[in-house]
Structure 1
């Protein structure tokens, strides 16, 4: 386990709370990105389950979720929320490289926004009342890890690649 993403996360093990949260989320983001890397558009859009879940769709969904939680909710830059089912929809013209670039851009924007706030910073959220940046980090770690797990299974079914680095 010598990949830079894994090392960054491991180095945070004795760090402060924010460092641990940021490194944990970045590790899950990197895993998700790695699950899509090297796939053709056809492979990334292949569905192995009855739902529309694909690696490409997971990438697109997570880019939208980054935007919702960090830009719209934390930074209070409201815009219409997308139809949840549409967040997984990928057009035939969207390449894996474009989806990865969009995800990377969304993650970079999330990091930039989060850096402006303390962990205890509270913002309104329609269903939950108030949420802190700390809660948003914990939620995004859970959300990203869950979908990275889905992508891990889909990638294994695609070409046999498994695990943290595969």
Structure 2
């Protein structure tokens, strides 16, 4: 059995050998941790600052990824627990910040949703298939790979925004 570190602040991909699942989950946890490291340490103003023409902010990215986690894991693998986003418009709206969206609240909500995603996904094997409204059917393997891609892409966005804010770069 491979021991896997799910500490979102660990800073390294923790599984380099082991099962396919352990490697996939480790990469996803690495990118989840990167997103949190980009958010933490920012002031409320800097986390919400728009530095690009779109409405993308570091805080907005974390809020969006919290909803993405919920939609791909809980909504699909634990039907009835939440509503799945079905339009591009509603996905874009998930970046919008409210007054109560502080750095700590957003980080805590994201961590809690990631924990919930891990718990829900752990009940199924990688070949488990579920219906998905836009794609027909997807496997848990597909969901994990998609979430690695989605989270890594937004971690890159957060890295650029953080560099523009205070000069810090990289995954750590």
The TM-score by the shorter chain falls in which range? over 0.9
Which deviations, in whole Å up to 9, do the C-alpha atoms of 1:80-115 show, x marking residues without a partner? 345212100111332100000000000000000000
Aligned residue in 2 for 1:159: 166
**Structure 1 residues 5 and 77, CA gap change in structure 2 (3 angstroms):** farther
Aligned partners of 2:71 and 2:83 also within 8 Å? no
Aligned partners of 2:66 and 2:109 also within 8 Å? yes
Aligned residue in 2 for 1:18: 21
Which deviations, in whole Å up to 9, do the C-alpha atoms of 1:24-56 show, x marking residues without a partner? 000000000000001111000001111100000
2:135 paired with 1:124: no
State which of 7, 10, 16 in structure 2 corresponds to 1:4: 10
2:85 paired with 1:64: no
Which deviations, in whole Å up to 9, do the C-alpha atoms of 1:124-151 show, x marking residues without a partner? 0112111000000000000000000000
Gaps of 5+ in 1: none
Residues 9-158 of structure 1 mapped to structure 2, 5 A cutoff: 9-10=13-14, 12-77=15-80, 79-82=82-85, 83-158=90-165
Aligned partners of 2:162 and 2:169 also within 8 Å? yes
Mapped partners of 1:127, 1:89: distance in 2 = 23
Gaps of 5+ in 2: 1-8
* Structure with the higher fraction of residues in helix conformation: 1
Query: Could you state the TM-score of these two structures normalised by the residue count of structure 1?
Result: 0.92
SS at match of 1:59: helix
SS at match of 1:91: coil
Answer 1 or 2: higher relative contact order, Cα 8 Å, separation at least 6. Answer: 1
**Structure 1 residues 5 and 55, CA gap change in structure 2 (3 angstroms):** same
Mapped partners of 1:154, 1:71: distance in 2 = 29
Number of residue pairs the alignment of both structures matches: 160
